[in-house]
Chains A and B, each alone.
Chain A
């Protein structure tokens, strides 16, 4: 090879082909997919919770993309139907995830509607899921002698409750739980052919 111009132009051409396929075409076809009927925009508490989810890197262990029945038994684990592009219309950025060190969370709000379960599980996952390897998040809570008015006290199983103290959820924990409870894609989608 004798010409740096041809080399670089050739290299940029190959990258342009790849970018056209993986970025430009999706940009044109799926970027602005409208929300599926039944999908609600996030509330501000849920959005703050979503930021917490990103801050603590939940997406490194939890996916948000159940797959089709024909491909994998995700639905049989109660993770929900396969998602479509319109399910992510309000997700900026989408948190599809690449690992299932823990279970898929796209429908965790359906499976676990209880605030107390979520709060206790964040404080000490092993109190609710024996054998879990999820980190505990004690820094999202405060230990107090007694709670003040308006604070949310977390009720833990007796073996895991700190002696003589009450566990109070910080606002971050409450926001995060709002977000987790909002994860609900159980409404039906029209193009079921693409889903199952």
Chain B
């Protein structure tokens, strides 16, 4: 079969498939009153941002908010508080570990004789510790913690079996400690994103099952007829990730270049079908809550969801453009990478229309700043990724730091920013304490945003120059190395700012725990401002 016919049939099949899914799952597709988007609000609550405790929102609403709905929400929050708190504490630890490892790796690339006496500190290991601490530590702990908080709220029920989720989280973290330890010691399965030895992976599977089962049982005990957008993303992510992780880590199953295609099927899907849906679900929940109005178009969110589910799974082959793998596979992945523009545009338009007229809220609410910046970076990194898959662009950017910049735009600019926002929203609700120093939230935001901007711009330019130099056969290879040096230093500056912002974040969290005041009416400046937090 020639490339063009594969391309066309993949394109047509995807569109037909997508159309069928949306048709089969539509909720009165053309109806103007898509009440599904209002399910996250208590009756009468629309127009009132959830800025404080339910108790206070009730008074703020002048007694018009349905108190039974608010009691349900309080019960849901109470059932999840200990487990969410535990997951977030772990997330903070892994965030700091990952930052230290990442910054060390970054500096080593322009100071190659720094800290070379210990094997575990060498670039190849500390970089891997960084990646795995983010991939299996920070991102899932923050994401699953947020899912544990949101899902019972959306289903208006209590979390079933919270203690099993705590046990699962403990197993998961034990596995990660063992995994990072073995990577630092030099035991690795040798495939990117799948380095942790498969023996330890068994512990991850057990831990993941103990976290996932309570959420699935909760889903079955729901007290709402309608499943909100966030439930689609989080519900599917909870099924997608175990399949990915299990299939990818079965020892002896994958070999030769098939192992390479599987590697990038996993590597890209863990981003696209696990972190991305958890973060998008958070945006779909927190954004409307923070501005007090439902999302603009329920139908666009259907397109965004099924588009992601359909196209994202098949994009992984673009990591092997020009490689020794079947050509049809790479072509398929390039086509589906371009198709990803469809759900991304659907999401972005929806976010823009929802926010329209409420931009002023951004000024008062740092949480909203994190969430909105994250949403924008989802669009930016996705569109960039689509074009990066094209052969003409890929031939320059493949094998360069440009790809590293892109990966950080997605996993930091988008996913991590959204989780920061989620944590600022959720922590006061699970601890019953206010963030003591609101200014530190702004400091965190600006350090992180400036840091990732410097990081991204430096590495994007440096990577492009590196790739152009490598493509020009008249220039020696060393020139492609030398040309990147100032940009690698720029990356370390950006990375240092990001790491500093995480220290600020963690110090603030610790201060909240050891000395924070119980939240009371009007107790702090940030809660008394409308739309704050």
Contacts and interface: CB of A to CB of B under 8 A. Distances in A.
B25 interface: yes
B140 to A, nearest CB: 18
Given A14-B309, A18-B314, A135-B123, A4 B220 contact: yes
Interface residues on B, range: 35 or more
B240 interface: yes
Interface stretch (B42-50, B225-233, B439-447, B515-523): B225-233
Q: Which of A55, A59, A103, A139 has the most chain B CB within a 10 Å cutoff?
A: A55
A68 B247 CA distance: 31
Contacts of A71: 322, 391, 395
A103 to B, nearest CB: 5
B481 A89 contact: no
A58 interface: yes
A4 B255 contact: no
Interface in A74-115: 76-77, 82-85, 87-89, 91-103
A30 to B, nearest CB: 5
Interface residues on A, range: 35 or more
B255 A2 contact: no
Interface stretch (B91-99, B106-114, B283-291): B106-114
A99 B400 CA distance: 6
B125 A57 contact: yes
B256 A59 contact: no
Interface stretch (A19-27, A151-159, A161-169, A174-182): A19-27
Interface in B466-488: 470-473, 477-478, 480-482, 485, 488
A7 interface: yes
B326 interface: yes
Given A4-B219, A133-B112, A93 B473 contact: no
A70 to B, nearest CB: 10
Contacts of A21: 314, 329, 332
A132 B220 CA distance: 58
Q: Which of A95, A100, A137 has the most chain B CB within a 10 Å cutoff?
A: A100
Contacts of A12: 239-240, 243
B265 A136 contact: no
Contacts, number: 254
B319 interface: yes
Q: Which of A8, A29, A129, A133 has the most chain B CB within a 10 Å cutoff?
A: A133
A1 B299 CA distance: 11
B257 A88 contact: yes
B240 A15 contact: yes
B128 interface: yes
B24 A6 contact: yes
A22 B403 CA distance: 21
B481 A132 contact: yes
Contacts of B478: 129-132
Would you list the 9 A-B pairs with minimal beta carbon distance, nearest first? A57-B124, A18-B313, A11-B236, A55-B186, A100-B399, A31-B258, A22-B265, A73-B473, A67-B322
Contacts of A29: 326
Interface string B391-406: 1000100111101100
Given A19-B265, A135-B122, A30 B128 contact: no
Interface stretch (B57-65, B168-176, B189-197): B189-197
A183 interface: no
B119 interface: yes
Contacts of A41: none
Interface of B: 17, 21, 24-25, 27, 36, 108-110, 112-113, 116-119, 122-125, 127-128, 186-192, 219-220, 222, 225-227, 231-232, 235-236, 239-240, 243-244, 247, 254-265, 269, 273, 302, 306, 309-310, 312-314, 316-317, 319-320, 322-326, 329, 332-333, 391, 395, 398-401, 403-404, 470-473, 477-478, 480-482, 485, 488
A80 B341 CA distance: 37
Interface of A: 1-4, 6-8, 10-12, 14-15, 17-19, 21-23, 25-27, 29-33, 54-61, 63, 65, 67-68, 71-73, 76-77, 82-85, 87-89, 91-103, 125-126, 129-139
18 contacts: A1-B25, A1-B232, A6-B24, A15-B243, A18-B265, A19-B265, A23-B258, A25-B326, A55-B186, A57-B127, A58-B124, A61-B123, A71-B391, A76-B473, A93-B263, A94-B259, A133-B112, A133-B485
Contact of A17 (B261, B314, B316, B319): B314
Contacts of B322: 65, 67-68, 71-72
B473 to A, nearest CB: 4
Contact of A7 (B220, B232, B259): B232
Nearest to A18: B313
A7 B233 CA distance: 10
B211 to A, nearest CB: 17
Q: Which of A17, A18, A98, A99 has the most chain B CB within a 10 Å cutoff?
A: A18
Given A4-B235, A10-B25, A103-B477, A26 B326 contact: yes
